[in-house]
Amino acid sequence: MMIAFFVNSLDSEYPRYTTTVLAHEAWRRGHDVCYVTPGDFVVSPDDSLQVHARVIPAGKGKARSRDDFFKQLKTAGKKTKLISMADIDVLMLRNDPANDAAKRPWAENIGIQFGRRAIEAGVLVLNDPDSLSLAINKLYFQSFPREVRAETLITRNASDIKAFARKHGGKIVLKPLQGSGGQGVFLLNGGKTKGNLNQMVEAISRDGYLIAQTYVPEADKGDIRLFLMNGWPLQIDGKYAAMRRVGAEDDVRSNIHAGGEAKAVKITDRELRLAELIRPKLQADGMFLVGIDIIGDTILEVNVFSPGNLFTCSEMAGVSFADLILQSIERKLQIRDQFPGQFTNAQLAVM
């Protein structure tokens, strides 16, 4: 099997990142691995899809650490090999479109667009690109059951936000409709920040719409990142791929990239209930690997593009979640070969 990982750039990858962990596990299991970035696709005159890939041949039986594997990847990144997309079995879309929105708008949706062409070439694309096109911003989250979401207002109008803030005692969270990593997230805390509301709205709305959400009281304890695979909580022998993320002091953001701290967490029936409520849609949309962020009885976000922190979750649980993820991918290819042409990409993605 050859599995390709689509990322924003090699420079933005690190040994402990989830994509590297998955790629190393695929390589360790005897699969060819390649990395693809937004500028690497080629549509030939005969309409066939090709890609300039950084290929790392299968390494089964070689006791090479993830750090050494990453060094090899960096070396491979200095030269590419033009290969047919039809020679790739699986394409994992692991980029973050928000990272390209400002400086490389042409690259923002390119993985989705070529992911669709890859399906036509017989490639299994994870997560399903048609559904990812609907999830390019946080508006996708509004399609999940209201009972799992905080009360939300989406607008670019400051007066709308002021009215929403008054309704909720002046304490609300503001963030951009499109974005990730805790970027542009502010807490409006009654009279303490009331005078800064206009500046907050202006700063966030500069790049588009705003989201105003009710503040969830348990946010002071941080949020819980829980991985879902094939729509179900990812777990091995009752150990869940989960962690608690606690924001820095006086910082509303819990995201690790924003300075949050990772801690072990026990997953309870409360979190499992929330995961179950969103499972039907995730499965219908072909969302293979997803990260959900939970505070109390509320899901704050559903990350369907490049959920991170799998390494930390595995480290805390003492198990390899990447191994289970690769097993699931291998099983999907077996199903595809056993039932050729009988399942859509979205259906196969969550089997």
Q: What is the pLDDT of residue 184?
A: 78
The 3-state DSSP class for residue 75 equals helix
Does the pLDDT value for residue 59 go beyond 70?
yes
pTM value surpassing 0.85? yes
Sign of torsion over alpha carbons 59, 64, 69, 75 = negative
Does the pLDDT value for residue 201 go beyond 70?
yes
| Residue 43 β-bridge partners | 49
Q: What is the dihedral of CA 329, 288, 256, 321, to 10 degrees?
A: -40
26-54: average pLDDT: 96
The 3-state DSSP class for residue 298 equals strand
Q: State how far the Cα of 23 lies from the Cα of 246, in Å rounded to an integer.
A: 28
Q: What is the pLDDT of residue 351?
A: 98
Sign of torsion over alpha carbons 17, 351, 229, 126 = positive
Q: What is the pLDDT of residue 249?
A: 58
The 3-state DSSP class for residue 59 equals coil
Q: What is the pLDDT of residue 25?
A: 96
Task: DSSP for 161-201, please give it.
Answer: HHHHHHHTTTEEEEEESS--TTTT-EEEEGGGTGGGHHHHH
The full length of the chain comes to 351
Q: State how far the Cα of 227 lies from the Cα of 221, in Å rounded to an integer.
A: 19
Which carries the bigger pLDDT value, residue 351 or residue 102?
A: 351
DSSP character at residue 91: E
Q: What is the pLDDT of residue 101?
A: 86
pLDDT tens digits, one per residue of 240-277 = 999 999 976 555 545 555 557 899 999 999 999 999 99
304-315: average pLDDT: 97
Q: State how far the Cα of 48 lies from the Cα of 227, in Å rounded to an integer.
A: 35
Q: What is the pLDDT of residue 79?
A: 87
Q: 173, 205, 177: which is closest to 189 by C-alpha?
A: 173
pLDDT classification of 328: cutoffs 50, 70, 90? very high
Does the pLDDT value for residue 20 go beyond 60?
yes
C-alpha pair distances (Å), 58 with each of 37, 95, 102: 20, 23, 36
Per cent of the chain over pLDDT 90 is 76
276 touches 294 (CB < 8 A) = no
**Per mean pLDDT, which range of 160-164, 197-201, 314-318 is the poorest?**
197-201
Q: What is the pLDDT of residue 197?
A: 78
Task: DSSP for 226-264, please give it.
Answer: EEEETTEE-EETTEESEEEEEPPTT-S---GGGT-EEE-
**Per mean pLDDT, which range of 99-103, 276-280, 306-310, 342-346 is the poorest?**
99-103
Does the pLDDT value for residue 55 go beyond 90?
yes
Q: State how far the Cα of 283 lies from the Cα of 285, in Å rounded to an integer.
A: 5
Q: What is the pLDDT of residue 193?
A: 57
pLDDT classification of 220: cutoffs 50, 70, 90? confident
The 3-state DSSP class for residue 294 equals strand
What residue ranges define each of the domains in the chain, with the CATH number in brackets? 2-126 (3.40.50.20), 138-144+218-318 (3.30.470.20), 151-214 (3.30.1490.20)
